[in-house]
Amino acid sequence: MIAAPGLDVPGELRLRLADLYAAYDDALDERDWERWPGFFTESAIYKVLPRENFEQGLPVAMVFCESRAMLADRVVALREALVFAPRLIRRVLGAPCLREIGSDGMRLGCSFALFETMLNEPSTVFLCGRLYDRVIEDAGVLRFAERIVVTDATNVPLSLIFPI
């Protein structure tokens, strides 16, 4: 957890933000997806889109959720509905950087790399990119009001199944 130069961030807030990111990563790395929606506010926006769309202002996203309930629906679909070959996705994140504290919350950026391991195959780089987050105080808890996942690759290897 780092802060942009000139931004005065109390030590306790830094720790709370670091805990939020660590707990989120822990849930996903342990494939405990049911915990995932809880890191978001009720009306949170969660999107995954290629940098191509992001930079040109094109609104379509590969994943486009507008509520915590939609995130929960994604998890149910992943558990109950989708048919896919067994695989693991390993997440590696850089240090989240607190870039701005505004009236609508704290804005953070963070780079990520995802590695994919199909059963019995060697691990490969799946996707890498940048997370653009907005975190707010939500009933005494820090939660994501927005997580925009921007992938560097315009081209996804086969399927994007798990939350990022």
Residues engaged in binding another protein (CB under 8 A): 48-50, 52-53, 56, 58-67, 69-70, 72-74, 76-77, 80-85, 154-161
15 versus 77: smaller Cβ distance to another protein? 77
- Least distance between another protein and beta carbon 56 (Å): 8
- Encoded tokens for 72: 């929960």
Hey, CA dihedral for 7, 13, 18, 22, is it positive or negative?
negative
85 versus 88: smaller Cβ distance to another protein? 85
Question: d(Cα 6, Cα 160) in Å, to the nearest integer?
Answer: 38
Look up residue 71 and give its amino acid: L
13 versus 70: smaller Cβ distance to another protein? 70
Cα separation values, 76 from 17, 33, 34, 81, 153, Å: 28, 9, 8, 7, 27
62 versus 92: smaller Cβ distance to another protein? 62
- Least distance between another protein and beta carbon 40 (Å): 12
The bridge status of strand 63-65 relative to strand 97-102 is: unpaired
- Least distance between another protein and beta carbon 117 (Å): 15
Helix residue ranges per DSSP H, 48-141: 51-56, 68-76
- Least distance between another protein and beta carbon 1 (Å): 29
Cβ atoms of residues 109 and 16 within 8 Å: no
